[in-house]
Structure 1
Amino acid sequence: MNNIKKSHDGDQKFLNKIAFLESKQRERLLPPEMLIDEMPIHENHTLLDIGAGSGFFTIPMAKKTKETVYALDFDSRMLNVISEKAIKEDLQNIKLIESTIEALSLEDESIDFIMASLILHEVESLSKVLSKLYEVTKIGGHLLCLEYEKDEKIIEGPPMDIRISSTDLEQSLLNSGFKSTKITRINDSIYTILAKK
């Protein structure tokens, strides 16, 4: 009986997460197409969406390139959601990877553009993850990090103790080997950093 309840609770939690990821409020806060349109993505670029979730960014990314878009998530149910969306949108250039970022096994210098949306604050070792992302990024390629600012005035978002401030993330990116970085405020609570290898 306990296992059934746990399974149901887990299912409900997953459905709640999908509802949040797909919400109109989130779309207004982070308009995916608008953000992707401003990124240095070309139709011959290979892309990687880490912590892809329900494909909020994966789908618009796949529409911007003729090459492969890798969608990485450790939850196979999230990848199933992306798969269903890709079929619905007739997108055949999305490859699903069930893995953690740390265990990512793509060739070195194989990716032109990486999206890391609201995922870096969840990793165990930021320096290890950024080093891994640096390895798979082509020379001249980009990494876009999107995170909540570490600011006590901003209540919305993950717990303050796991957030990464924009200045700390910028320094971590530079320490990992990325060169130029550009910080943009998306709204009061969320920033992006675009880093280049």
Structure 2
Amino acid sequence: MGNTDKFEMIANIYDTPERIQIAKVSSDAIRECLVDAKSKNAIDFGCGTGLVGMNLLNDFKSILFLDTSQNMINQIKQKISSSNIQNAATLCFDFEKDSLSDLHADYIFMAQVLLHINDVELVLSRLYEVLKESGHLLIVDFDKNEKIVSDMVHNGFDQIELTEIMTKIGYRDIQSKTFYTGSKIFMGHDASLFILDSQK
């Protein structure tokens, strides 16, 4: 996945008050989309230090924290062991390089991850394979922002364009909405976050 090296370096200083706040509003938005999730298993895809997934541990039967950065995964392992969490596991893996045929989930959620992924369609296709029948992929990310120019990340996403890509892959019942606007939250610019809910 893009920018893994950068995340390896900042893993131990990643949990800033701003990131914790964005993670809270993101996990609240994800929670509103869940249906009968207490008996379901989930993957926190591109989990970073687990800020979003940790907020949702009580909403699922289990969560697998998955990231390409081993240092980020190590941060989560520490959180899991220090809090004696029983329904969480970790996996360091890169879906841009490989696919996992033996991994399956009822829910996959990703918060501010897609903007770091070079080949969006490829990764969304591989996540589609991981979802169980009628499983949900939930995406939280920034609305497209023309002020942001970067070689490192996408400058957000147009919800309609993203819906079209996902429909082509096979996702259905796709719904999305902007749910949060914040000051200087995207590379120093004011920006808004959307949530997209889709089903296999």
TM range (shorter): 0.7 to 0.9
User: Which structure's residues are more often strand, by fraction?
Assistant: 2
Equivalent residue for 1:163?
A: 156
Is structure 2 residue 153 aligned with structure 1 residue 176?
no
The answer as to whether partners of 2:139 and 2:197 remain within 8 angstroms in 1 is yes
The answer as to whether partners of 1:182 and 1:193 remain within 8 angstroms in 2 is yes
The answer as to whether partners of 2:145 and 2:155 remain within 8 angstroms in 1 is no
Aligned length: 183
Matches within 5 A, 1:1-197: 14-15=9-10, 18-19=12-13, 21-31=14-24, 32-40=26-34, 42-66=37-61, 68-102=62-96, 103-107=98-102, 110-152=104-146, 162-188=155-181, 189-197=192-200
- By relative contact order (CA 8 Å, sep 6+), the higher-ranking structure is 2
- Separation in 1, partners of 2:177, 2:170: 20
What is the CA RMSD across the aligned residues, in angstroms? Answer: 2.7
Secondary structure at the counterpart of residue 87 of structure 1: helix
- CA shift, 1:164, in A, is 2.5
* % identical equivalent positions: 22
Equivalent residue for 1:3?
A: none
- Separation in 2, partners of 1:12, 1:183: 28
TM-score by length of 1: 0.80
Deviating above 6 A after TM superposition, structure 1's stretches of 4 or more consecutive aligned residues are: 10-13, 156-160
The one-letter amino acid paired with 2:172 is K
- CA shift, 1:13, in A, is 7.5
Post-superposition Cα deviations, 1:36-55, rounded to whole Å, max 9, x if no partner, equal: 43131511111011111000
Q: 1:51 to 1:88 in 2, by over 3 A?
A: same
The answer as to whether partners of 1:122 and 1:162 remain within 8 angstroms in 2 is no
Secondary structure at the counterpart of residue 58 of structure 1: helix
- Separation in 2, partners of 1:161, 1:120: 8
Q: 1:100 to 1:162 in 2, by over 3 A?
A: farther
The answer as to whether partners of 2:140 and 2:194 remain within 8 angstroms in 1 is yes
Gapped runs of 5+ residues in structure 1?
1-9
